[in-house]
Amino acid sequence: MSFAVGNRFGPYEITAKLGAGGMGEVYKARDTRLDRLVAIKVLASDLAATAEARERFAREAKVISRLSHPHICALYDVGRDGETAFLVMELLEGETLAARLAKGPLPLAQTVRYGIEIVDALDKAHRLGIVHRDLKPGNVMLTREGVKLLDFGLAKAVAADDLSETALAGQPTLDTPLTGEGAVLGTVQYMAPEQLEGKAVDARCDLFAFGATLYEMATGKRAFDGNSRAALISAVLRGEPMPISTWQPLVPPALEHLVKTCLAKDRDERVQSAHDVELQLQWIAEGGSQADAPAAVVSRRKGRERLAWVLAGASLLAAALLGLGYLRRAPTPAPLLRSSIELPPGMTLASIGLGDTALALSPDERQLVIAARSADGRRGLWLRSLDGGELRLLAETEGATSPFWSPDSRQIGFFAEHKLKKVPAAGGAVVSLADAPSARGASWSRDGVIVFAPDFRGGLRRVSAAGGEVSVVTVVPQDESHRLPWFLPDGRHLLFVASHWPSKLDAAIEVLDLETGKATPLLRERSEGRYVEPGYLLFVRDGNLMAQPFDAERLRTTGDPVAIAEKVQFSPDRFAADFSVSSNGLLIYEASSIVLRQLTWFDLDGKKLGSVGEPAPFIRVVVAPDARRVMGMLGEPNGTLRAWLYDLGRGVGTPFDAPRTVGQTFSWVWSPDGRALAVENEAGTSIVTRAADGTAPAKTLASGLFNVFPTSWSPDGQMVALSVLDAKGGSTDIWVASVGGDRPAHPYLATSANEGLAAFSPDGSLLAYVSTESGRTELYVAPYSAAGSAQGVRISSGGVTPSGGVRAAGYWLGSGRRIAYVDSRGSQLVAVDLDLRDGTLRVGAPHPLLGGQPLPAGEPFDVTRDGKRLLAAVSIEENTAPRVHLVSDWTHLLERQ
């Protein structure tokens, strides 16, 4: 029997169904007495009639009630409503370990930390004479506070002084039923041999399951597998899993040995207590395995003395700080090494959601530069020597993206504040070289020439690295784009991407002769192309980084492409991938990922008020005027975007529009009455209005424009503000369109600077917008007049970041005499009071909101119309920092084909 929203069990009112859990259904409910959200587990109706089922359900309640531990899901209450028995438990926010492992293995530091928390919980249960019996990734929840062990429904209390008295009572449930050839079984894969053989069990069966779980955390692979129940059972009883080092060569031998001991077939040969396991894991976490370095690394140091990446296995602290080490090269071949590292806690790359690149190895392989933002809000270029040492921020590089090196490894080029710039790697003055309104890549030749793409459309340009006049390299029609240049070794030829804007369906990698100006198509690939010695062309296909032999003298490919990395961070909109390759075989790349986020309410002091619905991969949220609905844009790994309209009261969403690809972005603004939305079409050439409930056909508001999207709807319902790209001048302007159609869409504020993201104040008297008039993106506010624009007053002083996934300059609060924006320097949400008297606008001092805490990078949000609450899509993962993967001597992968 299933129960609907609104059903009650005593004081508990159901608000949503969460799914099945062991012996019953699980629901989200509100405790009306204590006004808190809880989880209710109800005994399945088809089992309620059996005495055995009722007894097992009652046993679960008694078992859990004895367990009070920070890493065990808490039991609040147990009861019966008529014939329905139920448990009331702690409601957890997060994802299961099984769901996390579906994305790949955990970083070593997380594997060890989560392992410690799991065995600490098991140790508590075992000391009370309780064996879990069904430990598996699906019964471990990852929350912001750490792991939570779930579902003791199969646990059986045993005498504390005799932990071997009972046999397995009943078969555990399966994670995945065996439904056909190739399917895999669930819980059986974590069952100790004595469980499968029906023998008496004790706490050591949980340690076997823990070993299988720890193996999966470290490798992303199951320790035992099979395509039939018999094959799987045989693997558990007689087989041995592949060594962890097969998948993770740099795993500490101490961890490898611990897992092997936990998985011993004979339980007398197995590690004997959860406490012993915990002590060993703590020793590893504290660096106790440093003296026991991975054999692959030792061999590498003795053989070639080349690149040695000292990762978490050798030092967990080093792993947190990029885990990179560098030794001098020697000619002896070295083995292929793969590893995953974590950025410092809270650091995010500049590539997130932007299609820019963030990683660049110096040509001499001595340094790595990263375009990123630290946890404390500092943004720019971070440099680290591969010989060791700390990351250091290069001064005056705020907002930098797409770094690239000079051939001598002494200087770094980058884009920031709509400029092409350079900075000495050793530190020093930043020099602006050229305008770059919306840059799309650059390359630095050995002759001191930089070729770059200054905008998302148009041709390539060149400038001397010493500065000077900018000259045209390629001329293309208005709807075409040349971008992502990459010099070949001769300095005369370069690779680039040619495409049509905004179609991009016919993109190709071409070769340009700088002396003749002739461009020759090379490959029909919708990706950038990069050349690397000893003679390969690298590009991305279906998320895989491909390497194809390339003759740099004859300018042609000579063989078939081979995949050298999977799931590389790639922007199909910009054709750009975030990787860097050295000529000596080192590959660094950012892995693509989708972050699940939970819609969460906060007040403007930063206090959490509650969450809404289920987690989803939100990348934009726009709250309706009544604060009861929200438009959400969801991202998927293949680059598809989906628009959903969410009912915040019920926590459910429905599809609003057909999915689009990246580059055909959704932007919506609500009408003042919340009945309609203005949205751009897929090509970015027109604006339509659509009824929010879908009952009326779409109505064209403006058409025949270029790269247009709506930003605000006037409070009287008569006008919609637009951001429009000037097809001739290349700058962004503010336009307005009449909803009634009495006047065609027309420019409102158009200068040589970039203006856009306009937002009407709640009373319609003011217009906020961003402009690059000062040389950086700042927030301005001006009196609004239908007759034309007035002089704007600058509100910010250190730059603003259009943030939260909402295309708006600022967030009007309350009556419209207060506005908030995201300050670029500290990544804080700050508010400014405004006073408009006698046509003069007076601006107060900025003061931080949300308790002064910096906003988490990449987490979309919007502020309610009354200015009292903020709805944010908060990551449910503890560490959302992007994964950076390392492959040494990647050319070995080509030899295996």
Please state, in angstroms and rounded to a whole number, the distance separating the CA atoms of residues 422 and 428. Answer: 10
Q: How many CA atoms lie within 13 A of 732 on its CB side?
A: 24
Does the pLDDT of residue 517 top 80, yes or no? yes
Residue 510: which residues within 8 A CB-CB, separation 6 or more?
495, 496, 497, 498, 519, 520, 521, 522
For position 161, what pLDDT does the model report? 34
- pLDDT greater than 90 at residue 597: no
Cα–Cα distance, 824 to 797 (Å, whole number)? 10
Whole-angstrom distance, CA of residue 689 vs CA of residue 656 = 13
Please identify which of the residues 31, 120, 123, 134 carries the catalytic annotation: 134
pTM reported for the whole predicted model: 0.55
Query: What's 800's DSSP letter?
Result: B
Question: Mean pLDDT across the stretch 11-33?
Answer: 80
Residue type, 351: S
Q: What is the pLDDT of residue 638?
A: 54
- pLDDT category of residue 209 using cuts at 50, 70 and 90: very high
Mean predicted lDDT score pLDDT of the chain = 79
CA 104 to chain centre: 14
Q: Which of 354-363, 383-392, 465-474, 606-615 has the highest mean pLDDT?
A: 465-474
Q: Indicate whether 173 pLDDT > 80.
A: no
- Indicate whether 301 pLDDT > 60: no
User: What are 419's two structure tokens?
Assistant: 């400029």
Mean pLDDT to the nearest integer, 191-209: 87
Burial class (CB in 10 A: 0-12, 13-18, 19+), 764: middle
**What integer is the mean pLDDT of 543-565?**
90
Per-residue pLDDT tens for 272-288? 899 889 988 988 887 64
Size of the chain, expressed as the number of residues it contains? 897
8 Å CB contact between 799 and 398: yes
Between the ranges 37-51, 164-178, 688-702, where is the mean pLDDT highest? 688-702
Rounded CA-CA distance 484/571 in Å is 12
pLDDT of residue 319: 36
Query: What average pLDDT score do residues 777-792 get?
Result: 84
pLDDT digits (tens, 9 = 90+) for 149-163: 887 654 444 333 333
Sheet holding 442-444, edge to edge: 442-444, 449-452, 461-464, 471-472
The string of pLDDT tens digits covering residues 376-395 is 778 899 998 876 667 889 99
Number of CB atoms found within 10 A of residue 835's CB: 10
The Cα-based distances of 22 to 2, 29, 85, 169 in angstroms read 15, 18, 14, 15
pLDDT in tens, 260-270: 999 999 998 89
Rg of the chain's alpha carbons, rounded to an integer?
A: 30
Work out the pLDDT band at 296, boundaries 50, 70, 90: very low
Residue 435 appears among annotated catalytic residues? no
Across residues 692-716, what is the average pLDDT? 85
Amino acid at 647: D
Please state, in angstroms and rounded to a whole number, the distance separating the CA atoms of residues 257 and 20: 36
The amino acid at residue 312 is: A
Is 591's pLDDT higher than 60? Answer: yes
Q: Using the predicted structure, report yes or no on whether residue 473 has a pLDDT greater than 70.
A: yes
The answer, yes or no, to whether residue 769 has pLDDT greater than 90, is: yes
Q: Which residue has the higher pLDDT, 158 or 343?
A: 343
| SS3 label, residue 679 | strand
**C-alpha to C-alpha distance for 143 and 145, rounded to whole angstroms:** 5
pLDDT in tens, 870-884: 999 988 765 555 578
Pairing between β-strand 431-435 and β-strand 442-444 as defined by DSSP bridges: unpaired
Strand, helix or coil at 371?
strand
Q: Per residue in 76-99, pLDDT tens?
A: 887 777 777 788 888 888 888 998
